[in-house]
Amino acid sequence: MKDLVIVFPGQGSQFAGMGKRWFDGNRVVRDRFGQASDLVGYSLADLCFTAPPAEVTRTRFAQVSLLVLSYAMYEVMTEDRKIPVSAMTGHSLGEITALLAAGALTFEDAVRLVKARGEAMESCVAESGTGMVAAVRMPVADVEKCVEEFNSGGHDVQVANYNAEAQTVLSGTLDDLKGLTAHLEDRGAKVVKLNVAGAFHSSFMADAVPAYTEALHEVEFTEPTVPVYSNVTGEAHESPQSIRESLAVQLTSPVRWSAIVASLVERKAAVWVEVGPKQVLKKMLTGAVGSGEVHSFDEEPERVRAVLDQLVELKKREPGLVGLCLGAAAATRNRNFDAAAYDQGVVLPYRKLQELSKLDQETLSDEQKQTALDLLLTIMRTKQVPEAEQRDRVESILRRTGDAGLRTIAGALAT
């Protein structure tokens, strides 16, 4: 089975007229635009389709419109199929869209949160004289060295996005960025000024944190249905509380996109689908994911649907959670030679797993899946399988089946 990763874009993917064909052709998109418009107090359709281009690029408007459009496109993509997603993530703002798609918060809360986020960020950068540039064609380590050299002269430029090995985004005052641009270009880098309102993902955003943190505390986060990777750590969120904490830190911390990609590539992610306007992330991912496939739903919807249908068919041929538990139970080495204990802790639980395997695997409840994992853990403990191997096997099963909501069972191994 090919592991599927869904990615959502952040600010910078917006443009005047974005989403018009999705809006015209899909009721779910129109419904989401209507719901969001009621929540934010202005018409998203008017903003995206008829307002002057400068309006949709404003931070307070761009973020809300990107969240709503990207999520509505995700709903269009999945409305007739249950796709076997292994992980989700997003770039900056896109991480919130990923959390929404993974069920970690409600649509209403996501819209309110992003509205507060965009307004706080826009207010913070108003007349700040700050901005961002992208340094390309130079390795990250060399860019960091140049920044360190430049800052030693009393300047303050900060890395904002680790996008790829040869694409690093920097934040600072406009004067400092101008000086650093010359410094980088003298050393062979190409520097591109970004069309953004301020120095995002840096300490220059500190004044936006209090209002955003207040909004975060009004949101109830739950365990995502699939792992969602954090821009702050480059790894999957561990709990609803870690989501809240990470999102608060995200405004002033660099986006570790390349670390997220590396983590997922290491976990054998093979198919990547960007869901949102344009294909900014597809361009960043192409070449960075080895032999993995990269697609944009906005640019090639029929191709993406065909790929997803193929993955659905492959998923049907794979053993489900109970089958994988049976396989793991049989494959682990036995280190317990107490016959009575083996009969009680291995033979009997294995027979119960076999009984579960006779049920319709498509309709198994979370409780039944939990029972299967408990039986597997009983078998492995009785066999005296090392805890590290127990954890690896359980997490591998949950990753393959997409049952991330049950992954806390692996945490029980530490208790």
The catalytic residue positions are 92, 201
Alpha-carbon distance of 39 to 232, in angstroms, equals 28
Alpha carbon of residue 88 to chain centroid: 4
Show the 3-state SS of 7-74.
Answer: EECCCCCCCCCCCHHHHHHCHHHHHHHHHHHHHHCCCHHHHHHCCCHHHHCCHHHHHHHHHHHHHHHH
Going by C-alpha positions, the residue among 84, 79, 67 that lies closest to residue 4 is: 84
- The answer to whether 171 and 147 have CB atoms below 8 angstroms apart is no
Q: What is the CA radius of gyration of the chain?
A: 24
Supply φ then ψ for residue 338, to 5 degrees: -85, 110
Going by C-alpha positions, the residue among 280, 297, 305 that lies closest to residue 70 is: 297
How crowded is residue 292: how many other Cβ atoms within 10 Å of its Cβ?
19
- The answer to whether 74 and 305 have CB atoms below 8 angstroms apart is no
* Beta-bridge mates of residue 135: 168, 191
Alpha-carbon distance of 249 to 415, in angstroms, equals 29
Supply φ then ψ for residue 199, to 5 degrees: -90, 75
Supply φ then ψ for residue 287, to 5 degrees: 95, -20
Alpha-carbon distance of 31 to 357, in angstroms, equals 41
Burial of 229 (0-12, 13-18, 19+ CB in 10 A): buried
Write out the two tokens for 381: 């403990």
> Residue 170: in which H helix or E strand, if any?
strand 167-173
186, 166, 205, 174: CA torsion to nearest 10 = 20
